[in-house]
Structure formats: structure tokens, C-alpha cells
Amino acid sequence: MSEYNITNLELDDNSFEVLPEGDYHFTVKSHEVTYSTSEKMPPNTQQIICYLEISYEKDGEIKTATIRNYLNVYNKGLFAIRQFVECIGMAPEKGKSNVNLDKMDGMSGVCSITIAETSKGNEVNRVQQFYPPSKVPAVTANDGAWKKVTDLDGIPFDL
């Protein structure tokens, strides 16, 4: 029988902060393409899961929240995909276009966040709307944090 020393063990608390409702700048941290397991979707509905990173300021400290957003690829869900790709600048606001999913990571935009309740009674953030670049609100909830986090003048990086 082995013994475990847990005095220096660091555990994640699995808690997260629910952001207040409002409009936020975001960056697409990553994405994955999978199939929906929801009974509300037609069988074999493909979906794009985007992980949106949102910087915000709380108690004078810059923090980051990640919101998982589901985009379902079927007729009734295409408006949401169109809204998303317009928001991050990957599609013109009018007309048809092809979307290269491999290029979406690192793209940014502005979205409206709302608070929803899960089936287990927990509060979570959900994206209510993605704004096209021509209709971005003048003031967003995380303007102060966004400017501080993205102030990268003089730092070389490849696009």
C-alpha cells in the first residue's frame, strides 16, 4: 500500500466568474468541429465550438474569462454562423462567402453577453449576439481591460 503526500498539492477549484451582462471585446482562443449530441438537433448535425477569451478588469486586476459558444451547422443555425464570421471580419456583411475555419483562431470582435441558467441551476454566460464591425457599440463592458491587454506597441509578432 502506497502513501501519498498531499501537503503541496495544488487543485483547481473548477469555479469560474460569471461576467455581468453587457457588450464585450473577445478573441477566438481556439475552436473545434464536432457533432451535436443534443436531442433538439437533427441527427448528425455538425457544430463548431468556439472558445472566446474575454479580458476584463475586477478589483484593479486584469482577468480573463473563457466562454464556450456553439455554432450549429444546419439551416436554422446558419444565421448565427454568418453573424459570427462577419463579427470577426472573415466575411463581407452582404453576399455569400467561404469560411476558412483554420484562420478563425486569434480573430477578434465584439459580442453581447447574457446570463443564462443551466439545467442544474448554475449561472453561466452565453453569447446573445455578435456585432458586425460596422455596428459595434460605442462603449463596451471591458474597454479598460481590453485596451490594457492589447497594448502591444513595439512588440514584434507574426500575423
In SS3 terms, 67-97 reads as EEEEEEECHHHHHHHHHHHHHCCCCCCCCCC
Tally: H helices and E strands in the chain:
2, 5
% of the chain with per-residue pLDDT over 70: 77
Res. 95 pLDDT band, cuts 50 70 90: low
DSSP track, 37-57 = --TTSPTT-EEEEEEEEEEEE
Each domain of the chain, given as residue ranges in start order, spans: 22-149
* pLDDT, mean of residues 50-75: 89
Residue 150's pLDDT is: 45
Give pLDDT, residue 93. Answer: 61
56-65 pLDDT tens trace: 888 888 889 9
Please give the average per-residue pLDDT across 72-76, as a whole number.
83
> 50 or 78: whose pLDDT is higher?
50
What would the pLDDT profile of 117-150 be if each residue is shown by its tens digit?
988 888 999 999 999 988 888 767 777 776 544 4
Q: Considering the domain 22-149, what is its CATH architecture? A: Beta Barrel (2.40)
Beta-bridged to residue 124, according to DSSP, are: 116
Query: For the chain, what is the mean pLDDT?
Result: 79
- Cβ neighbors of 134 (< 8 A, separation 6 or more) are 93
What's the pTM value of the predicted model, to 2 decimals?
0.76
Confidence of residue 6 (pLDDT cuts 50, 70, 90): very low
pLDDT of res. 76? 79
